[in-house]
Chain A
Amino acid sequence: MAGHLNHVVIGASAAGLSAACAILKTTPRARVRVVSEEKDAPYFRPMIPFIISGKKGSSDVKMVGQGPYVQEGFELFTNTRVTRVDAGQKRVITDSGQIVSYDRLLIASGGKPYLPPEIEGVDVEGVYALRTLSQARAAAKRSSNVTHAVMLGGGLLNLKAAFSLLEKGLEVTLVVYSPEILSQLMEPEDAVMIRNALEQAGLKIMTGCSARKIVDGSKGVCSVVLDDNREIACEMVFIGKGVRPCVDFLGDSGIEIDSGVVVDRYTKSSMNDIFAAGDVAVTFDPITGERIVTGLWTNAAEMGTCAGKNMAGCPTAYSGTFGVMNATQVAGLPFVSMGVVHPGNNEHEIHKNISDTSYRKLVFSKDGNYLLGLVMIGDIKNAGLYRFIMREQRNIRFLKEKIIGQSLTSADVMYG
């Protein structure tokens, strides 16, 4: 009786709630219990930079009842951490010793910030590895009383947080180990336009260097020492070095782990009735075929929905996602980056189109018949269309002229 299955979901963010909604939409009489270790009710995690700037309050970013998260009927347990999964007995054990049985289990425990072991003093007061709403509230509070923040890492999270701090009037220095910012999302020369805009907006950017030590003063952090021994005075430090899957509680579960939980095309792990989705799951890139772990809300929501359908007995293949995929706007510049954006060798055909206000790089296969990746800055019109043809791995021989000439429309893709 699929309708009465007992589902347990570990994690109440994009993947977990999307799955819970999908399960209940497919089988309304199912039991769905969602367990979250955070104290806060589910919230839109990518919105936390707005908590720091003060543009949004905690209640503005709540998930339940908003957007697609309107399905009712799941039970939510916050402030509850799962410490063990007993796949043999089909049950999970929580930090308070509670035993919760399941027919089907979803692991959507997400990621946790990576703290480089070579940096000394990451536990000093005033150091944040921004991930949760409660951390964002703490950072917001501290940022109201200080003047200088140092951001370690040149990724999107840090750039967004940096902007929130600039808006609050802080002096902000971004320390990036890579030769250029956003190195995961584009090549150094692609990022020049964004870097210029960031610097114009007041962000101080130091590339090619890293932090060695965070120094504790009388009121928490007082400076950061770089690997070349330069010292930057500051009262806040943000570590944005990416996230790693939260799998530590799965140690003795028998579930196959390869940095994250390995799943098949139907989001099922190596164990029967255990599924995984979101930042904790290892999925695949449809273009390269490689195993990847992504940390993107959009992917997590999509994969979670897919997992929920599978758990509810409606087999749904997950089409994978690009290892690189993101869109946002920083310093007034919108940009999209997806697919193969670091071609690196001569195995690709590359087209660039650069103007004063926009930058576009297209990466095609060697034979030129497939679009594999792109970076669009300034003008991101129809980005989703390109994502579609990339994901479908469509032969674009007859559309190529329009793709390069920036005149492709969905009418061409549908009827062309």
Chain B
Amino acid sequence: MDQVKEIFLRKNRCMGCHSCELACAVAHSASKNMYEAMGEVPLPKNRVYVEAVSENLPIPVLCRHCEDAPCMHACIAGAIRRMEDHSLFTDADKCIGCWTCVMVCPYGVIGRHLDAQKAYRCDRCPDLEEPACVSACPTKALVYQSVTTFSKDKRRHAAEELSRGEGK
């Protein structure tokens, strides 16, 4: 079985271009086309947010699909469930817009669709090969990998740094 992939951040690479936000909104539009999406009512919503800790430190934040997800346990309507690929899914048909999930999400990444009175979040673009934000990232700050692959890359990087430090 393929290992479950997640969206990881390599934060030193993000230059704050906001391409991920735009691609995310388009991927969650009706038309899937940027020019048409801009005219849609309601306006398509992005589920990744590039936040600036300081001027020089932009950080994209998005749903972590937490293993022990506070939102899923807090939901009073049973609208949030775990999918087979381990991602969390908010069922808009069941969501009643009580915003309990917004109250408990420690990352602040659950959005409120005010017209529809529904909560929304990253769904890792289940219909795409890789999430739209990852594909759109010009510096590959966002990557879509399994934990195993991501940590292997980290180790390799650490090994390189070490060997460089020793002048080899």
Binding site for B on A (CB under 8 A): 18, 44, 46-47, 50, 61-63, 66-70, 297-298, 301-302, 305, 325-329, 334, 336, 338, 380-385, 387-388, 409-416
Residues of B that sit less than 8 Å from A by CB? 11, 49, 51-54, 57, 59, 61, 68-70, 72-82, 94, 96-110, 112, 117
What are 7 A-B pairs at a CB distance below 8 A? A46-B98, A68-B69, A68-B73, A381-B102, A382-B108, A411-B61, A415-B11
Known pairs A298-B73, A329-B117, A415-B11; A67 contacts B79 (CB<8 A): yes
Complex: chain B residue closest to A415, CB-CB:
B53
Complex: chain A residue closest to B59, CB-CB: A411
- Closest-by-CB residue of B relative to A336 is B103
Q: How many pairs, one residue from A and one from B, have CB atoms within 8 Å of each other in the complex?
A: 129
Cα(A68)–Cα(B80), bound, Å:
7
Chain B hits for A68, CB < 8 A: 69, 72-73, 80-82
- Tell me whether A338 and B72 are in contact in the complex, defined as CB-CB below 8 angstroms, given that A67-B81, A329-B98 are known contacts: no
- Residues from chain A with Cβ under 8 Å of B81 in the complex: 66-68, 70
Q: A329-B99, A334-B99, A384-B108 are in contact. Are A44 and B76 (CB under 8 A)?
A: yes
Q: What residues on A are CB-neighbors of B94 within 8 Å?
A: 66
What 17 new A-B contacts, CB under 8 Å, besides A68-B72, A297-B74, A336-B102? A18-B73, A46-B76, A67-B72, A302-B73, A325-B103, A327-B98, A327-B103, A380-B99, A383-B99, A384-B70, A385-B106, A409-B49, A411-B51, A411-B52, A414-B59, A415-B11, A415-B53
Chain B residues lying within 8 Å of A416, measured Cβ to Cβ, are 53-54
Could you tell me if A44 and B78 are in contact, using CB atoms closer than 8 angstroms?
yes
Q: Would A328 and B78 be within 8 Å (CB), given that A18-B73, A409-B108, A415-B59 are in contact?
A: no
- When C-beta atoms are compared, the residue in chain A nearest to B74 turns out to be A298
* B99 with A328: CB separation less than 8 A: yes
Q: A85 → chain B, closest Cβ, in Å? A: 27
Asked if B99 and A298 sit within 8 Å, CB to CB, the answer is no
A384/B59 in contact, CB under 8 A: no
Contact A384 B61 (CB under 8 A): no
B41 CB, min distance to chain A CBs, angstroms: 19
Contacts of A66 in B (CB 8 A): 78, 81, 94
